[in-house]
A and B are shown apart, each in its own frame.
Chain A
Amino acid sequence: MSINLLHRHVLEDHISGFETDPNPNHLSIIRRAVIFTVLAHAGQEAAVAEALWNAPDVAPRFCSPSEWLAVSRTVGAETVAGMLSEIAGASVVDQSDGRVLMEISGPSVRKILAKCVAIDLHPEVFEEGHSAAILCCHAEVNVARTGADTFEIIVPRSLAGSVFEELMEMGREHALTRGFVD
């Protein structure tokens, strides 16, 4: 007996109805992002960080002095797992199902995020490529700047619905739209 199992995104119940064209301010939910935790063992922190920053197809996100998230939208979990497991001194955990990747962009993005996170997102302070582990709408998330007006937010799955609803509420005055990206 073989069982056909359907993968379901946690926000599918939150995003229903007709898809509309995205407004300038838009929240994208990346349906199948690959997200791994990378832990550096004692004394290996610098070497692991360097290897991670040089790894192709993944973007590193800072969590703590010996912990990062490696994010990929382009390659599959097995490829990422294979690549990361070759980094000496690192342990890796697949968190792709445990984290939800959102991307928020648009001219009002900083005004919207100012209502969600306490850190200063001014481009001179929080530059492209910077990331921070921080509370966002009461949840522990990772926020990264990926463009002038584009940020990625990685949210724990169990709180993703709550954070998503709050983000949309905070974006209401800026006509924030939302949708899945496959």
Chain B
Amino acid sequence: MTSYRLGSGGAINRGQSLSFTFDGQTYKGFEGDTLASALLANDQMLIARSFKYHRPRGVVTAGSAEPNALMTIGSGARAEPNARATVVELYNGLAAASQNRWPSLKHDFGAVNDLFSPFLGAGFYYKTFMWPGVLWEKLYEPLIRRAAGLGKATMQADPDRYEKSWAHCDLLVIGAGPTGLMAALAAGRAGVRVVLADEGFRLGGSLLSESAAVDGRPAAEFAADIVAELASLPNVTLMPRTTVFGWYDDMVFGAVERVQKHVASPSPDLPMERLWRVVAKQAILATGAEERPLVFGGNDKPGVVTAGAARTYLNRYGVAVGGKVAVFTNGGSGYRTAADLLAQGVDVTAIIDARPQSADPVPESVRVIRNGSVIATKGRHRIEGLIAERSGFEEVIGCDALAMSGGWSPIVHLMCQRGAKPVWSDEKQAFLPPDVGGAFLAAGSAAGHASIGDCLKDGSAKAHAALEALGRLVGALETPEVEGEYDPSFVPLWYVPGARDKAFVDFQNDVHVGDLGLAQREGFRHIEHTKRYTTAGMATDQGKLGNVNAAGIVAGMRGVSPAEIGTTTFRPFYTPVSFGALAGTARAEHAAPVRTSPLHNWARKNGATFVDSGLWYRSAWFPREGEKTWRESVDREVLNVRSNAGLCDVSTLGKIEIFGAGAAEFLDRIYSNGFLKLPVGRARYGLMLREDGIVFDDGTASRLSENHYVMTTTTAYAADVLAHLEFSAQTFWPELDVRFVSSTDQWAQMSLAGPKARIIMSRVVQDDISDAAFPFLAARDVTLRGGLKARLFRISFSGELAYELAVPAGYGEAVADAVMDAGHEEGICAYGVEALNVLRVEKGHVTHSELDGRTTADDVGLGRMMAMQKPDFIGKRLSTRFGLTAADRLQLVGLKPVEADKEIKAGAHLLKDGAKPSLANDQGFVSSACFSPTLGHFIALAMLKSGRERIGERIMVWDGLRGSEVLSEVCPPVFVDPENSKLHL
């Protein structure tokens, strides 16, 4: 037995045994264990294979910086790859599997990579697989990906729920160790709103791993007491299992809460994870410090752990990492670990201290090798001994675990995510957090303090500063006494010379000292280049453990201070965040909100097929029995509108109510055509330009009373037009008295079109709607039979006699039903946006297919709508630019195929007959195309160079994408009723 569970001690519930599996084998752990501590308790030190060389790897830390202990948790759709066993909370039935090995962890075929490792140094892939380039994607990359790697993502849909939430507080404390607890307590007692977040499942941080006493109690008990007091304060929110992963603008912090990751059978009513956005007035970084590994030969052997991890497993989980533990240290942490191990009856074979001397108290009966170093380790799947060296003399020391301590690095990550770089301190031999302003303060060991006492003091001091900034200052907290502390100082030791085996800097990516040297020699000297050339600091741990050592080693190679080397860039996320949490509820059909028309139910009852149009669901066509294709339905609907009547839902068009004595003048300046003289009770088609003279949107505006208009916009541009109106009114013409508000949602609006529209509408509307009383472009309030007030507009997009009837949305379905009933004898049908599109193409009306952000009014044949005699309107000045008036601009024309059975498709390009397809020969393109059931062949609208001069010309419609060429005749864009006789029936 090497690593084992102690007979007593630890913050675990020995009364609650939990069963779990690792690679199919069943083990037992206790409530309060992590997966890693439970594996160690079962003497499972070999838990992974390394990324590149497939070397055997064991647990090296006890926290979220763990580079090695990556495994897949769960199975099927819930399988999660690359989980760090050191932070996975044990639960009954947990199933874990090792990764990157075949056929098994002990006998891994990929380990041959290690034999070839002399050839696999940094940059190997770049150099070796350079050419032929075509093989990279097809051969090399897939091979490399198979050989090197992490776990595999499941391809099944995630069965769990996720959600997002906001939190607001005066003070966010990140980390619930000694510093964070004191900060939260000081602020909590002062009555401000505090959020205390910690990634662990038990609040207390390093206090849970301490053997020292705080305030006369064991440290863990002290922590539990503070947590209990905080929990009793209504102004404090405790958030365990919550990793603050990012710091964003305006003091917004991103955090992810693992709500049910530790639960054997998750509740369907709770999310698996919850993404938090925490808005804080003040924040305190109390994330602590990371213990640095020492970089010596064979330092990646399973059983080599950080000294702090050895203490955590011992004191918190009641697990000894080995039966005979050697310690290699450059500071007091090693002595502290040795003392704790001895106190629990674990044999400590030697302390190898890199320093010539120190004042650290040496535990009785332990041999100390001062000025010593470790140059190699023995054993294969687990360390069996080490070779120590002092003054040229080597000695083999037996051990089954090695606790190493290379000093401490403050966890500065969050504070450096917004551009500020960490600052090197010669005194602390560490990168300290930068000054990012008074709202976000680093405290405790994150700020370079080392002892528990200093951390407790600094926590309450920084909370004090935050309270002062909040204007809520109260008396300071008394700092509790700490007994049994060790001197936590250390001397720098970046690299242990004389290594007999590879000395790893980045365990996860198999980067050793030689790779860093190669990068320097080959010119990748900047630390960011070194990172990318060697892969040091990449993948799931992002160099949490190795990056500072890498900077120190590179500094040593170059003979400069680490300050000159600096660090790589810190970016969110601090630790990996699942896509599920980031997506929240926005997945599948909930990816975007659903927007439905007031006539949605009416359309559904009539059998509509719906189409997404932005957020809207619009009725596209209404298939009837026996119709096999959408075209059959659409053709029928079009012909029926042209010969009888049809009803179409146009509720999605934007509607804006405009009020004020200045409204007429306002509209006159917004639209390119005149609006000053529009009489009450009339509608007018209007064209809006952008400031640069290009068409923006079109629609109608109707004058309902002297100072009240209602404007319609296209469906797509409803919000943009409202914003454009607001902007124009507020910034260009604040002197005009005009106000507006959207009423799009208030009205169900339906278009009744066809030669029989009037007779049908007159059965529904009480008012006189004869051509004389209600002529083309009339727009008025009317009363329906039965008394409902409504708005009626005589406007037409189809070219037929048509009315648009608007009724309050809640009556929409009932009114549409009534219109259908009223038109039953006349053969009314429901028609959708596809038929509407055919009707408007036949009539040569433009939509945003033609008004595509490149066309002028003249381009689309609406030059007459440019009222240049007006003093000004938006777009007037720039519409006369040379480029917008050039003779060879694309102009709107119609196209019909010379052979009547040929199909023209939208998006095809136009070529002179016989010309080769090329950019230089491009004559324009097809903007809209459809089959015209009225004419019996395909028709199209197209933008053609100098098109209006070319009516009658034959032109090739070339569709390279779909491989067709259709010789077509250029014709005027109005195919049906060019005299508009049907409008004025």
Contacts and interface: CB of A to CB of B under 8 A. Distances in A.
Interface of A: 1-10, 13, 37, 39-42, 66-67, 91, 93-99, 111, 114-115, 117-120, 122, 125, 137-139, 156-159, 161-163, 166, 169-170, 172-173
A158 B810 CA distance: 11
B592 A122 contact: no
Given A94-B746, A114-B165, A122-B193, A159 B741 contact: no
B733 to A, nearest CB: 11
Contact of B593 (A8, A39, A138): A138
A66 B818 contact: no
Given A5-B786, A10-B810, A97-B810, A115 B163 contact: yes
A151 B514 CA distance: 64
Contact of A39 (B615, B739, B811): B739
Given A91-B659, A173-B269, A5 B809 contact: no
B77 interface: no
Contact of A93 (B594, B743, B788): B743
Most chain-A Cβ atoms within 10 A of its Cβ — which of B590, B744, B746?
B746
A4 B594 CA distance: 30
A89 to B, nearest CB: 10
13 contacts: A7-B811, A13-B601, A41-B659, A41-B739, A66-B739, A67-B741, A93-B741, A98-B746, A111-B165, A156-B745, A157-B746, A158-B598, A166-B590
Contacts of A95: 743, 745-746
B221 to A, nearest CB: 31
B161 to A, nearest CB: 8
Given A96-B746, A96-B808, 20 more contacts: A2-B785, A4-B786, A8-B813, A9-B810, A10-B809, A97-B809, A97-B810, A98-B747, A99-B745, A114-B167, A115-B165, A120-B168, A158-B598, A159-B595, A161-B594, A162-B593, A162-B595, A166-B593, A169-B585, A172-B269
Contacts of A40: 739
B162 to A, nearest CB: 11
Closest 7 CB pairs of A and B: A98-B746, A98-B745, A91-B659, A120-B168, A97-B808, A162-B593, A39-B739
A115 B161 CA distance: 14
A163 B745 contact: no
A158 B269 contact: no
Interface in B124-176: 163-168
Given A13-B601, A66-B739, A122-B193, A158 B657 contact: no
Contacts of B815: 5
B786 A7 contact: no
B229 interface: no
A150 to B, nearest CB: 19
Contacts of A172: 269
A99 B657 CA distance: 15
B662 to A, nearest CB: 9
B593 A139 contact: yes
Nearest to A171: B269
B785 A114 contact: no
A8 B810 contact: yes
B279 A120 contact: yes
B538 interface: no
A172 B269 CA distance: 6
A114 B271 CA distance: 15
Interface string B612-634: 00011000000000000000000
Contacts of A98: 743-747, 809
B764 A3 contact: yes
Contacts of A91: 659-660, 708, 739
Contact of A158 (B164, B595, B601, B660): B595
B737 A41 contact: yes
A2 B786 contact: yes
A40 B737 CA distance: 10
B898 interface: no
Nearest to A157: B745
Nearest to B764: A3
Given A3-B764, A3-B818, A8-B810, A122 B168 contact: yes
A159 B166 CA distance: 22
Given A94-B746, A97-B746, A159-B595, A173 B818 contact: no
Given A94-B746, A122-B168, A3 B269 contact: no
B784 A3 contact: yes
A166 B584 CA distance: 11
B420 interface: no
Nearest to A162: B593
A50 B746 CA distance: 26
Nearest to B814: A5
Given A91-B708, A162-B595, A172-B269, A6 B814 contact: yes
A10 B813 CA distance: 10
Contacts of B598: 10, 97, 157-158
Contact of A7 (B277, B597, B601, B814): B814
Contacts of A122: 168, 193
A142 to B, nearest CB: 13
Interface in B803-820: 808-811, 813-815, 818
A5 B436 CA distance: 64
Nearest to B745: A98
Contacts of B594: 159, 161-162
A42 B737 contact: yes
A41 B660 contact: yes
B117 interface: no
Contacts of A159: 593-595, 615
Contacts of A3: 764, 784-786, 818
B722 to A, nearest CB: 11
A117 B740 CA distance: 26
A5 B815 CA distance: 7
B785 A8 contact: no
A30 to B, nearest CB: 13
B499 to A, nearest CB: 54
A114 B166 contact: yes
B263 interface: no
B763 to A, nearest CB: 6
Nearest to B595: A158
Contacts of A37: 657, 741, 743
B343 interface: no
B75 interface: no
Contacts of A39: 659, 739-741
A168 to B, nearest CB: 11
Interface in B459-503: none
A8 B596 CA distance: 14
A120 B279 CA distance: 9
Contacts of B657: 37, 93
Contacts of B734: 42
A172 B592 CA distance: 20
Contacts of B396: none
Contacts of B786: 2-5
Contacts of A117: 166
Contacts of A170: 163, 585
A172 to B, nearest CB: 5
B808 to A, nearest CB: 4
Interface string B259-270: 000000000011
A161 B743 contact: no
Interface string B784-800: 11101000000000000
Given A9-B810, A39-B739, A118-B277, A137 B593 contact: yes
Interface in B795-848: 808-811, 813-815, 818
Nearest to B652: A158
Contacts of B271: 173
Contact of B788 (A5, A96, A157): A5
Contacts of A94: 746, 808
A153 to B, nearest CB: 14
B784 A158 contact: no
A5 B737 CA distance: 38
Interface in B624-666: 657, 659-660
